[in-house]
Structure 1
Amino acid sequence: MKTSHAFLLVGAALAWAGSARAQTVPDAKTVYEGAKATAEANFKAARARCDQIAGNPHDLCMAEARAARVRVEEEAEAAYKNTLSAYTQARLRIASANYDRDKVRCAAVTGNDRDVCLEQAKATLIAAQADAKADRKSIEARQDARADKLAAEYRVAIEKCDAYAGAVKDQCVNTAKTAFGK
């Protein structure tokens, strides 16, 4: 009798702790929308600061504000979607926004220095894009390798089951299927 009460108390405590945790963890959509709202508010504040400046510094200030907004929004969207494609796309868009910012920065200089600045900005863009694409391919290759390893281990487990017969073999096969998610 006392044992059943203990189990009930432990179960109630776990249920209470689980519900308390569920209440404190915001859902992904709320976090995403909050990040977008924060990015927009920060952009508006930065735009107000930039409006007090004139000329190329104003353009640079606005480009930096746009790049910061894009970074926050893209990182939030990638975290919300939580896919490899979303993370790669976010990195590509952030690189593009940084390139736009760097082009504005280059507008402040003239002559050969400007050409060098633009080429450096383009090289930075290409490097960031190449890194994002290479990271994606690397992650996909690791995922494929992990899947191949699991498939091979599953075949080994099934092969081990061939040593048995009848109900024992069926139980062994079911255990292997459960262990490897088949």
Structure 2
Amino acid sequence: MMKQIRTSRLLCLLALIGLAGTASANLAKPVYTSAKDEVKAMFKTERDKCDSLAGNAKDVCVERAKGQEKVALANLEYQYTGKEKDRHHYLESRFEARYKLAKEMCDDKSGNAKDVCVAEAKAEHDKAKADLKANKAVAEAESDALDAKLKADYKVASERCDALAGDAKDSCRASAKARYFQ
């Protein structure tokens, strides 16, 4: 009974963390540390459940638990810091965990069926990796375009300010700098 309460409490905490992280990094250090400890404990319990299994079923169970733990910890880290680098690591850990699990599941097969299964897992992994890379490139291009637009708009506003004199000119320039983030 206590285990069920703890697990449901952790799942609620992770859901709240997910909601909190959508806006920005909102976790306080004690909440982050506590959640991290609970994630580790929960997934240790999940891995321990795998001991009752044998063969590839045990390997699949262990790989699933390890993957879920890595993804949960990466998500928690991203929710705590809000850094783009941690977001990238979280997304990467998701497709890495799926790939490792899919490969482990292929071990139940043999011959050509296993080869096809491994090839499909690798293809999905490569597609996810390519999508992540493409999305990163698009985000960088959009950021560069926005910077160029702001600089161009600032230049025009600055030229307009040159027609003024004294305090009006200073005020105009300060306003333009603030408006165009210069």
What TM-score do the two structures reach when normalised by structure 1? Answer: 0.78
Q: 1:26 to 1:164 in 2, by over 3 A?
A: closer
1:116 lines up with 2:125 in the alignment: no
Report what 1:144 is aligned to.
144
Q: How far did residue 129 of structure 1 move? A: 0.9
Q: How far did residue 26 of structure 1 move? A: 6.1
1:157 lines up with 2:157 in the alignment: yes
Percent identity reads 37
String of CA shifts for 1:39-60, please: whole Å, max 9, x gaps: 2122112112211111111111
Unpaired segments of 5 or more residues in structure 1?
Answer: 1-24
In 2, distance between residues paired with 1:52 and 1:35? 27
Aligned pairs, how many?
Answer: 158
String of CA shifts for 1:59-107, please: whole Å, max 9, x gaps: 1111110110011011122233322222223322332222111111000
Structure 1 segment 27-176 matched on structure 2, within 5 A: 27-176=27-176
Q: How far did residue 31 of structure 1 move? A: 4.1
Higher relative contact order (CA 8 A, sep 6+): 2
Deviates more, 1:107-116 or 1:95-104: 95-104
Report what 2:181 is aligned to.
181
- Amino acid of the structure 2 residue aligned with 1:90: Y
In 2, distance between residues paired with 1:50 and 1:80? 30
Corresponding residue SS for 1:163: coil
In 2, distance between residues paired with 1:148 and 1:173? 19
Structure of greater Rg = 1
Corresponding residue SS for 1:51: helix
In 2, distance between residues paired with 1:109 and 1:120? 13
Unpaired segments of 5 or more residues in structure 2?
Answer: 1-24
RMSD of aligned C-alpha atoms?
A: 2.0
**Equivalent pair of 2:77/2:86 in contact (CA under 8 Å):** yes
What TM-score do the two structures reach when normalised by structure 2? Answer: 0.78
Q: How far did residue 136 of structure 1 move? A: 1.0
Corresponding residue SS for 1:157: helix
